[in-house]
Structure 1
Amino acid sequence: MKMITFLLVGLIVHVIFFLSIFDIYFTSPLVHGMTPQATPLPPPASRLVLVVADGLRADSLFTLLPNGSSRAPYLRNVMEEKGTWGVSHTRVPTESRPGHVALIAGFYEDVSAIAKGWKENPVEFDSVFNETRHTWCWGSPDILPMFAKGASGDHVYTHTYPAEEEDFASTDASRLDSWVFTQVKSFFQLAKSNSSLKASLLEDENIFFLHLLGIDTNGHAHRPMSQEYLDNIGLVDAGVAELVSMVEDFFGHDGRTAYVFTSDHGMTNWGSHGAGLPSETHTPLVVWGAGVHYAHKVTEPQPYSDGYLQDWKLEHLRRVDVNQADIAPLMASLIGVPFPVNSVGVLPLLYLNNSDQFKAESMYTNAIQVLEQYKMKMTQKKEMTLPFLFTPYQLLTESKQAEFIHMARILIQLEKYDNAISLCRSLIAHALEGLAYYHTYDRFFLGCSVVLGFVGWTSYVILVILKTHATLDRHPSLLNERPSHTLARLCVCVTVVITVFLLVQKSPITYYIYCLLPVPVWYSVLKESGTLTDLVRLAPSLPLWKCFGYFVLVAFGIELLVVSFFHRAMLTVGLAVLSLWPLLSGLFSKAKSRSCSWCLGCLCLAAFPLMPVVGREPNVHLVTCAGLLTLFTSACYLWSSQRRAQLHLGDRQQFFTQMIHVAVCAYVPSLTHSSLQQKQGLPLLNQVISWTTLASSMLVPLLSSTRLFHRLLSIFLSLTATYLLLSTGSEALFPPVLSWLMFVWINIEQEAMLAQGVSGRRELSTIDFSANIDITKIRQLKLDDIRRSYFFVFFIITAFFGTGNIASINSFDPASVYCFLTVFNPFIMGGLMMWKVIIPFIIVMCTFETIQVATQLSSRSLFLIVLVISDLMALHFFFLVQDYGSWLDIGTSISHYVIVMSMTIFLMLLSVVTHILTSQRLILWKRSKTHFP
């Protein structure tokens, strides 16, 4: 009962620590209640056409063909004659939803908003569409609804195709774009005979939005270098040319239409996106029409050193790069609607072809719009902070705001437009810095509270280990020790003071949790101070040098794991060091064959962190090889077990059935990818096999014997079959190699116990998971158990990063799930990919469960050490979280902490699942007694 209580408390504490990062770093930056701001002068355009080619890379559009021609001749002609072009720089995550929010609303969504919903609006935000008189949209059902639902009134009209059309196995995904162009053509034809619709179209402040998903779908299915992807660009170019001609004809060539062509994100060479590679963050931007500068020829070098101008043969045309959020104020300025109130974009004036007065007034409007957000944020923070504790942002106090605004108006009135523009840019920069300042105002305070709780919890777990699982004799005078009443009163007083402080400051309810949690945690630590006293008293009799050596090695090992989050190759270094363990510990002379197997297994596994991440080098032939390797190792075990007469008929039949199943699953990916390449779609039989395998993967092992190696083999075969179906290349070899090393680890730990003279050692072949462990034979922890726990944490991290990294985990590559489905569904696909990540975890967890049983340790004792090691890593990453540098650096640092905390919480839950998976058995039919092991 105490163990369950401890696990529940530990789970709650870690969930709180995990959620704290969202309140500290992932809170929505949006504020509400601002007054919309619009430029007072007449706009140059009455309407705007926004075309977003989803998944289009900048280089794919701008790079010329070998013969010197362009695959997008119309847009190339626009760049050279009619409009202004540049590169739109996106932010991570490079996904469709946040990309479109940045384009249309002008701000970058925080991760929590993206996670809460894909089609819905988890937070209310303003957008250019919301400010228009009418907006008509055509395209994907995954993007359009969120802008319609976010708009006030009923003036955003969406036309979407069924979600089933987004099929990666489609013979030609460009039909999605053809559908959009056809619908737009039919729409304008209808408007010619529909007087009310025509009247709405002839009004000003209208936007037509075309979301083209074909390029993105073809990129996922066939890769961006494929003919399908490149031909789709040509189709879009021809469609845009026809669209422009049609729009101009409908409106009588009145010269009042502006056009914006861009993309939400790019794509890697291997068909994924979500991370921060240039191929993902560099998207094209071409703007032309009413109010837009004509192509500007230049002779002098341009201020870009990325080499793209030379590669694209565009040195002679002025390039104007923007941040993706800058496109929203540009569109608002062109048609004269208010800037989105939540926008953080800065109007790119080099795109505008208008008077200096219009540019100055537009920039002034942009500055006031950003300043309104700053003032609202400052007011909210001031109301929630005690006056003597409030520290305003010094560069933009209320007096300096008034000074900026007054000076800008005077400069515009004096027609010193360049000076006014410069001053407004400075005001925007200060306002954005001030927004970040107030958005992170409580970060240090909350961070200190979380760190205090972290340190207290880790200290408490260490004291629990020393008290209940270590050979530590308590002093007789301390056996009946009771917590001091003074300590309890002190904790109550601290709780009251913190609560009153938070009430006065009108703090959110979560602040109470983070600030009050350290109080009971540190009360528990101080209550166990007698254990620490005993440790100090017994220190002279302990092997201090040995203890010091272990802790130094573990500290070094933890640092190695921390660095491995940034550089996967450090896992290779770690595995190379681990391969020397039998030599360094003296086990090599006592178990040469197992030591050699351990060394070889470590070195084989060490090759995986040096390989490219999952998805970069698809090769289904390696998946087949992985299946053959799995069958070979399983056959070797079955043959050896049969020779020793340890395998009974029922188990032998099940293992043979599972091996046949693995052979089928090794062939299904090859058959599936062949069918998709021939554009014949996903075979139904393959889909049935895949989903059946997934559904049964956790149930089939429960039918096997609970004898140690019999159950482990069944688990291995079942999970590997699923993993093969989710693999596209070399990562399929990872589970067999990892399982081989885990098998060797189990065996060599037996030799380690023998070398240390641990009593109660049992033969592995006689161990049954379902048998209750004799409580009297459970031993106390020894120093070497710290090493076992560290090995476990190391292998868990290796299981996570062995075949990928942070970027590859963030990236979306649907090729891994083609055996299951090809129709786009981000949640099902994401769930399948997450299960693929979890499978190596389960293999390591089952091994750790086996070692606990084989070494006669309670499951709680080793897990507590693992908890301490994991918490020390999490605390390290908490200090490494940064709010400066590039957005990618900030997001990556936060991801590291989230991953470690998720891993800790997940391992708590997975340990329960693993225990059931190894020790429980389902009997679907009654067997004869002779078949029981």
Structure 2
Amino acid sequence: MRMITFFVIGLTVHVVFFISIFDIYFTSPLVHGMTPHSTPLEPPASRLVLVVADGLRADSLFTLLPNGSSRTPYLRSIIEDKGTWGVSHTRVPTESRPGHVALIAGFYEDVSAVAKGWKENPVEFDSVFNESRHTWCWGSPDILPMFAKGASGDHVYTHTYPAVEEDFASTDASKLDSWVFTQVKSFFKSAQSNSTLKASLWEDKNVFFLHLLGIDTNGHAHRPMSQEYLDNIGLVDAGVAEVVSIIEDFFDNDGRTAYVFTSDHGMTNWGSHGAGHPSETLTPLVAWGAGVQKAKGATEPQPYNDGFLQDWKLEHLRRVDVSQADIAPLMASLVGVPIPVNSVGVLPLLYLNNSERFMAESMYTNAIQVLEQFKMKMMQKKETTLSFLFTPYQLLTESKQAEFTQKARILIQLEKYEDISLCQSLISRSLEGLVYYHTYDRFFLGCSVVLGFVGWTSYVVLVILKTHASLNRHPNLTKQVRIYSRLLCTCVAVVITLFLLIQRSPITYYIYYTFKIIAQNFTCVSLTVRNKPGCCMAVYFCCPQVVSFFHRAMLTVGLAVLSLWPFLSGLFGKAKSRSLSWLVGCLCLAAFPLMPVVGREPNIHLVGWLQVATRYLGSRMVYFLNIDRIRKLYLKRPSSIFVPLLSSTRLFHRLLSIFLSLTSTYLLLSTGSEALFPPVLSWLMFVWINIEQEALLAQGMSGRQELSTIDFSANIDITKIRQLKLDDIRRSYFFVFFIITAFFGTGNIASINSFDPASVYCFLTVFNPFIMGGLMMWKVIIPFIIVMCTFETIQVATQLSSRSLFLIVLVISDLMALHFFFMVQDYGSWLDIGTSISHYVIVMSMTIFLMLLSVVTHVLTSQRLVLWRQRKMHFP
């Protein structure tokens, strides 16, 4: 019962600490209640056409063919004669949803919002579509609905094709883009005979949005260098040319239409996106039409040293790069609608072709719009903080705000339009201030979580020492310390609760401080145990594992060192064959972290060969285990996970069944050399189990069980449970190392971050982010289960309490988590920030996951299902 209680408490503590990272780093930056601001001058365009070619890389559009021609002749002619071009720099995650939010709403969506929903608005935000008079959209059902649902009123009209059309197994997905172009042409054709619709189209402040998903789908299915991908780009170019012609004819060539062509994200050479590679973050931007600056020659060297200008043969034309969020204020300025109130974009003036006054007024509007967000954020934080504790952002106090705005207004009135830099400075300071108030409580929350973490880990260490070491207690001293510590913690808890109530803090803040107080109380009481000198010395077991999060090759170094263990410990002389198997197994497994991340280069022949081999081994296993009737069930690969529950619970039989059934499923989710990973890992795990038996024999342990006699379903004899030894710390360390190797060995986590759907084609080809993500997560979990089952076996074979080993693992994992908590950063590139946070999340998830997975593996190893009553055993 005490074990269950401790398990529940430990799970709760880690869940709370896991959630804390979202309160500290992943809270939504959005504020509401601001007044929309628009430029008080006549806009240059009455309508705007936004074309987003999903998944289009910048180099795929701008690079010429070997013969010097362009695969996009129409857009190339726009770049050279009619419009302004550049590169739009996206932020991670480079996915469709956050990319479109940045384009249309002007802000970079936080991770918590993306996780709450993909097709709808999980949070309320403003957008260019919402501010328009009417918006007509055509394209994917995954993108369009979220902007329609978030719009006030009923003026955003969506036309989508069925979700089943987004099929990655399609021979050519360009039909998705053809559908959009066909629908747009039919729409304007029908508007000619529909007076009501025609009148609406002729109104100002209208937006037309064409979402083209074919390029992205073809890129996933066939790779960006494929003919399908490149031909789809040519189809889009021809379609855009035709649509522009139809629109211009419909509006009698009035010259009041602005066009923006861009992409939400790029794509890697192996057909994935989501991370921060330049092929994913560099997207094309081409703008032309009403209010857009016409093509200008480069009269001086351009400030771009990336070499792309020469490769694209565009060094003679001025290139204007922007951040992806800058496109939202650009579109709002062109069509004369208010800039979305949550936008953090800065108006790119070099794209505008208008009077100096219009550009100055537009920049002033942009500055006031961002300042409104800052003021609202400051007001909210001021209301929830005691006045004597509130520290305002010194670079933009209320007096400085008034000084900035008054000076900028006076300069515009005096027609000193060249001093627009003042507005840009105001925008910069406002954005910095938004970050300041958004992270205002971060330090105090971080300190609370760290102290709680230290208290909990210290308590677990002391529990291990008290339970499994001969330590002397002083009952009277313990009782006194317990009384005083509880009294002190009660007083502190009352003061902190009153403090949080006055500040109207969220409920989660109370939980963090409560866990900190409870953990410190337990630790104070436990420290009354008198221990030998040096027992609390910090031992940094986690260094190689921590480094492996940044450099996968560190796993190779670690495995190479582990391969020498039998030779350094003296086991080689007593078990030569097993020691050599351990050496070869470690070195074979060490090769995987040196290989490229999976998914880049598929090797279907290798995977097919391994599937045949697994089918053969599975059939032989069925024969060997005398389970003829489950042969058909085993060969149905998705059902093979249930096969272990039908096999014998004897150690060798059950483990072999588990490893082969999991490998069978893993192969269906593999695309290359990663398919070899589970067999090699399973081999090494078998060797580990056997060599641990030799280690026990070397220690002279009495009552050691032979592996052939161990039955997982047998009740454990409590009288034979032994105390912890130094070797048990080594076993726990090996377990943590193998868990991390299972996680990063083939780069599976990179596949999830990049969301490469190629590995799930055996089960699903129609786009469904949650099912696909679930299948890829199952692929990551399979090596975990293999290692967990091995650890369960070692615990049984070494006659050690599972609680003892697990507590040691918990301490090592918590030390790693605390290490990564200190490494979380909120500066540098967005990729660096996201990586540092994800490492903490991974370790915390691993700790929680191992707690839950230990229950699953216990069931998987010890339980057996009987589906029929065998009268007579038949051999195949």
Kept in 2: contact 1:704–1:711 (CA 8 A): yes
* Counterparts in 2 of 1:776 and 1:482: CA distance versus 1, 3 Å: farther
Kept in 1: contact 2:225–2:269 (CA 8 A): yes
Kept in 2: contact 1:654–1:704 (CA 8 A): no
User: Equivalent residue for 1:82?
Assistant: 82
User: Equivalent residue for 1:427?
Assistant: 426
Counting only pairs closer than 5 Å after superposition, residues 753-832 of structure 1 correspond to structure 2 as 753-804=696-747, 806-832=749-775
1:294-351: CA deviation from partner (whole Å, max 9, x where unpaired): 1001142210000000110000010000000000000000001000000000000000
Aligned partner of residue 517 in structure 1, secondary structure: helix
Q: Which consecutive segments of 4 or more residues in structure 1 shift more than 6 A?
A: 631-638, 929-932
1:107-148: CA deviation from partner (whole Å, max 9, x where unpaired): 000000000000111110000000000000000000000000
User: Equivalent residue for 2:227?
Assistant: 227
* Counterparts in 2 of 1:407 and 1:819: CA distance versus 1, 3 Å: same
User: Equivalent residue for 1:514?
Assistant: 512
Q: 1:492 aligns with which of 490, 501, 508?
A: 490
Counting only pairs closer than 5 Å after superposition, residues 164-179 of structure 1 correspond to structure 2 as 164-179=164-179
Kept in 2: contact 1:655–1:714 (CA 8 A): no
Distance 1:897 1:873 in 2: 8
- In the TM superposition, residue 486 of structure 1 has moved relative to its aligned partner by 2.1
Matched, 1:601 2:585: yes
Distance 1:397 1:517 in 2: 37
Counting only pairs closer than 5 Å after superposition, residues 153-302 of structure 1 correspond to structure 2 as 153-302=153-302
User: Equivalent residue for 1:138?
Assistant: 138
Distance 2:425 2:334 in 1: 23
Unaligned runs of 5+ in 1: 662-688
**TM-score, scaled relative to structure 1:** 0.92
- In the TM superposition, residue 624 of structure 1 has moved relative to its aligned partner by 2.5
User: Equivalent residue for 2:611?
Assistant: 627
* Counterparts in 2 of 1:298 and 1:174: CA distance versus 1, 3 Å: same
Kept in 1: contact 2:641–2:665 (CA 8 A): no
User: Equivalent residue for 1:124?
Assistant: 124
Kept in 2: contact 1:478–1:530 (CA 8 A): no
Distance 1:530 1:165 in 2: 67
Matched, 1:568 2:566: no
- In the TM superposition, residue 634 of structure 1 has moved relative to its aligned partner by 6.8
Kept in 2: contact 1:148–1:156 (CA 8 A): yes
User: Equivalent residue for 1:667?
Assistant: none
Counting only pairs closer than 5 Å after superposition, residues 533-572 of structure 1 correspond to structure 2 as 533=530, 535-536=531-532, 539=533, 555=540, 557-572=541-556
- In the TM superposition, residue 482 of structure 1 has moved relative to its aligned partner by 6.7
Kept in 1: contact 2:630–2:643 (CA 8 A): no
Distance 1:629 1:588 in 2: 32
1:732-778: CA deviation from partner (whole Å, max 9, x where unpaired): 10000000000000000001111112222111011000001100000
Kept in 2: contact 1:46–1:257 (CA 8 A): yes
Matched, 1:877 2:845: no
1:155-195: CA deviation from partner (whole Å, max 9, x where unpaired): 00000000010011112210000000000000001110000
Kept in 2: contact 1:456–1:521 (CA 8 A): yes
Distance 2:34 2:104 in 1: 18
User: Equivalent residue for 2:575?
Assistant: 591
- In the TM superposition, residue 807 of structure 1 has moved relative to its aligned partner by 3.9
User: Equivalent residue for 1:320?
Assistant: 320
Distance 1:285 1:862 in 2: 57
- In the TM superposition, residue 521 of structure 1 has moved relative to its aligned partner by 1.3
Distance 1:440 1:137 in 2: 37
Amino acid at match of 2:809: V
Counting only pairs closer than 5 Å after superposition, residues 692-707 of structure 1 correspond to structure 2 as 693-694=637-638, 696-707=639-650
Distance 2:254 2:446 in 1: 58
Aligned partner of residue 67 in structure 1, secondary structure: coil
Question: How many residues were matched structurally?
Answer: 875
Unaligned runs of 5+ in 2: none
* Counterparts in 2 of 1:805 and 1:634: CA distance versus 1, 3 Å: closer
Amino acid at match of 1:749: E
User: Equivalent residue for 2:398?
Assistant: 398
- In the TM superposition, residue 480 of structure 1 has moved relative to its aligned partner by 8.1
Kept in 2: contact 1:224–1:268 (CA 8 A): yes
User: Equivalent residue for 2:306?
Assistant: 306
- In the TM superposition, residue 928 of structure 1 has moved relative to its aligned partner by 4.9
User: Equivalent residue for 2:847?
Assistant: 904
**TM-score, scaled relative to structure 2:** 0.98
Kept in 2: contact 1:192–1:198 (CA 8 A): yes
Amino acid at match of 2:860: L
Distance 2:269 2:583 in 1: 36
User: Equivalent residue for 1:19?
Assistant: 19
Kept in 1: contact 2:474–2:528 (CA 8 A): no
Distance 1:358 1:702 in 2: 73
Kept in 1: contact 2:462–2:526 (CA 8 A): yes
What is the CA RMSD across the aligned residues, in angstroms?
1.8
Kept in 1: contact 2:663–2:678 (CA 8 A): yes
Counting only pairs closer than 5 Å after superposition, residues 380-419 of structure 1 correspond to structure 2 as 380-419=380-419
Distance 1:32 1:583 in 2: 66
User: Equivalent residue for 1:471?
Assistant: 469
Distance 2:251 2:525 in 1: 81
- In the TM superposition, residue 654 of structure 1 has moved relative to its aligned partner by 6.4
- In the TM superposition, residue 413 of structure 1 has moved relative to its aligned partner by 1.2
User: Equivalent residue for 1:857?
Assistant: 800
Q: 1:523 aligns with which of 505, 510, 521?
A: 521
Distance 2:713 2:17 in 1: 35
Q: 2:831 aligns with which of 879, 888, 895?
A: 888
Distance 1:699 1:562 in 2: 35
Aligned partner of residue 530 in structure 1, secondary structure: coil
Deviates more, 1:353-362 or 1:483-492: 483-492
Amino acid at match of 2:544: L
Aligned partner of residue 199 in structure 1, secondary structure: helix
Distance 2:777 2:45 in 1: 48
Distance 2:693 2:359 in 1: 78
User: Equivalent residue for 1:733?
Assistant: 676
Kept in 1: contact 2:493–2:514 (CA 8 A): yes
Deviates more, 1:619-628 or 1:513-522: 619-628
- In the TM superposition, residue 102 of structure 1 has moved relative to its aligned partner by 0.1
- % identity of equivalent residues: 81
Kept in 2: contact 1:698–1:917 (CA 8 A): no
Distance 2:696 2:856 in 1: 27
- In the TM superposition, residue 479 of structure 1 has moved relative to its aligned partner by 10
- In the TM superposition, residue 583 of structure 1 has moved relative to its aligned partner by 1.1
Distance 1:727 1:352 in 2: 49
